Amino acid sequence: MTENRPTWRTTALASAAFLLGTIAAGSGSLTAAWEPIARVIGLRQPPVPASANVLSEHEIEMLDTLSPQHQASLLLERSINHYRGANEQIASRVDTWRGRLTLDERLDHLFKTAINSDDLTVRVAGIEVDIAARDLVKDVSTVDRLESTARTGGQGPRVNAMWDLALIGNRGVA
């Protein structure tokens, strides 16, 4: 046991001396060594995409095998993440989703994320999916149907009617 102690002490002493020497050498050399590593991925750098952010042909083909609920969820998620082609796919499919979507927890979460995006095209994608999930027709007949509820309905139905009117009004229905 006594033979190992000097070796352990020597190792600890050498490590401490190295650490203190590194600190004593100054923060300048330590900073200079760290800079290239920190520059690779830093908080102050412009956004760097982690993937190609493009809907692949395989993904587009696979969409037809999914239920409308899964199509809407996947495409809205891709829109939020700025995948090229996602908004175009939503635009081409959203009319077929009307009345076939449920605003379940996942789709509602994606809608709330989309509606709060700083990208206006993502907001529009979220609104279009929400209109489809709420089974709203984007025309004057919906305005006529909701108007009296929005004016005189009970608190819950009145708020929902105003929300629905705001959604379709955002899409140009007056």
Percent with pLDDT over 70 in the chain: 80
Distance CA 133, CA 94 (A): 10
Give the integer Cα–Cα distance in Å for 160 and 165: 9
- How far from each other are the two terminal CA atoms of the chain, in whole angstroms? 90
Task: Specify the pLDDT at position 45.
Answer: 72
> Sign of the CA dihedral 149, 154, 160, 165?
positive
Q: How far, in Å, CA of 160 to CA of 146, rounded?
A: 9
Tens-place pLDDT, residues 111-128: 999 999 999 999 999 999
Q: Residue 11: is its pLDDT beyond 80?
A: no
Instruction: In whole angstroms, give the CA distance from residue 86 to residue 90.
Output: 6
Note the helical H segments in the chain: 4-24, 27-40, 57-63, 68-80, 86-97, 105-115, 120-133, 140-152, 155-170
Model confidence over 70-110: pLDDT tens digits?
999 999 999 999 999 999 999 999 999 999 999 999 999 99
The answer to whether 146 and 169 are in contact (CB under 8 A) is no
* pTM of the predicted model as reported, rounded to 2 decimal places: 0.73
Q: Which pLDDT band, with edges at 50, 70 and 90, does 38 fall under?
A: low
Return the amino acid letter for 53.
Answer: N
